[in-house]
């Protein structure tokens, strides 16, 4: 699993910083998460192939999280895209995008599917044989979701020495890898744990976009390998965070600690601060496994 931060600053684009957008590579998927202005420029800058993006997840309809989407959809058309594109986002996103396409008489020449979200409860919105994606309901000024990406558990690994010792026919290998015990011709039961090794632990990533401090997140993200949580403000601006329904770095760290996550990545910084290092300093007072997102930075999780 690899995460590439395309943009991680709040509100408006600047010459050296970009609003929220990131790419998650997991199990041969390349998921685009949020699409602030400048996203397609950042995709080019970091050598990410447009053609690999088939699913885009939009957290909410504030401009710094989706104003780059109409341009990206249009660019796909100009590049001659034929594959379908799936967009998951709040109700209203289809109306916003299709109105622009209609007014510009620039309908896509590829299938464009909108999956509009309205539920205030967590729900699975994408699933295939290897990955699931479910929503994380957030508390912001408009309807907002985070997203939880999980690998599905892999098949167990054959213990070759053990299957040879018991002289088990290859025809049974597939059911053994699926966790089944084996019964010999003599009626002896060979437990699966003697014939296989545990598979690697599935990797998980939680993206929590704009949100007020919300302990209700904890059960949904318990034990994830990596949590990206917005940290727009420092504790000195707690009143402003509460008013605008954003979080402080310390509040993000509290969520990470209570959820026992493996690593916390902070982002969505207000540009009022001279350095983002102060966000890490504040969060580390509560939780020690803290990283700072920054435009162009990548993280890999095993």
**198 in a known ligand binding site:** no
**65 in a known ligand binding site:** yes
**62 in a known ligand binding site:** yes
CA-atom Rg of the chain in angstroms: 22
| Residues 6 or more apart whose Cβ sits within 8 Å of residue 256 | 227, 229, 264, 283, 286, 287, 289, 290
**229 in a known ligand binding site:** no
The gap from C-alpha 264 to its chain's centroid, in whole angstroms, comes to 13
Q: Report d(CA 246, CA 186) in Å as an integer.
A: 65
**CB contact at 8 A, 188 and 226:** no
**239 in a known ligand binding site:** no
Is 295 an active-site residue?
no
Half-sphere exposure of 56 (CA within 13 A, CB side): 30
**210 in a known ligand binding site:** yes
Q: Are strands 157-158 and 196-197 parallel, antiparallel or unpaired?
A: antiparallel
Choice among 34, 64, 225, 295 that is catalytic: 64
Share in percent of the chain as helix, strand, coil (round to 5): 30, 30, 40
**113 in a known ligand binding site:** no
Sequence ranges of the binding site: 60, 62, 64-65, 140, 210, 268
Annotated catalytic residues are 64
Sequence ranges of the binding site for Zn(2+): 60, 62, 64-65, 140, 210, 268
């Amino acid at each position: 699993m690899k995460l590439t931060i395309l943009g991680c600053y709040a509100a408006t684009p600047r010459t050296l910083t970009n609003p929220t957008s990131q790419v998650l590579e997991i199990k041969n998927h390349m998921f685009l998460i949020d699409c602030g202005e400048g996203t397609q420029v950042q995709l080019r800058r970091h050598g990410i192939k447009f053609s690999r993006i088939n699913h885009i997840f939009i957290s909410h309809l504030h401009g710094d999280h989706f104003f780059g989407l109409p341009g990206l959809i249009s660019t796909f058309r100009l590049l001659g895209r034929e594959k379908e594109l799936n967009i998951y986002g709040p109700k209203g996103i289809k109306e916003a995008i299709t109105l622009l396409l209609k007014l510009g008489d620039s309908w896509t020449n590829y299938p464009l599917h909108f999956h509009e979200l309205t539920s205030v409860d967590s729900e699975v919105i994408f699933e295939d044989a290897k990955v699931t994606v479910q929503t994380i309901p957030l508390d912001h000024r408009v309807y907002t979701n985070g997203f939880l990406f999980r690998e599905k558990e892999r098949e167990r690994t054959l213990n070759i020495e053990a299957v040879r010792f018991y002289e088990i026919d290859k025809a049974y290998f597939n059911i053994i890898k699926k966790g089944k015990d084996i019964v010999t011709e003599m009626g002896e039961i060979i437990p699966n744990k003697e014939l296989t090794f545990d598979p690697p632990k599935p990797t998980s990533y939680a993206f929590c976009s704009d949100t007020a401090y919300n302990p209700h997140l904890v059960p949904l993200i318990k034990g994830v390998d990596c949590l990206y949580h917005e940290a727009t403000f420092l504790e000195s601006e707690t009143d402003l965070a509460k008013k605008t329904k954003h979080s402080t770095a310390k509040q993000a760290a509290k969520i990470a600690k209570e959820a026992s996550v493996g690593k916390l990545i902070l982002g969505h910084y207000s540009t009022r601060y001279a350095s983002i290092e102060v966000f890490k300093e504040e969060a580390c007072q509560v939780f020690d496994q803290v990283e700072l997102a920054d435009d162009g930075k990548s993280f890999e999780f095993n």
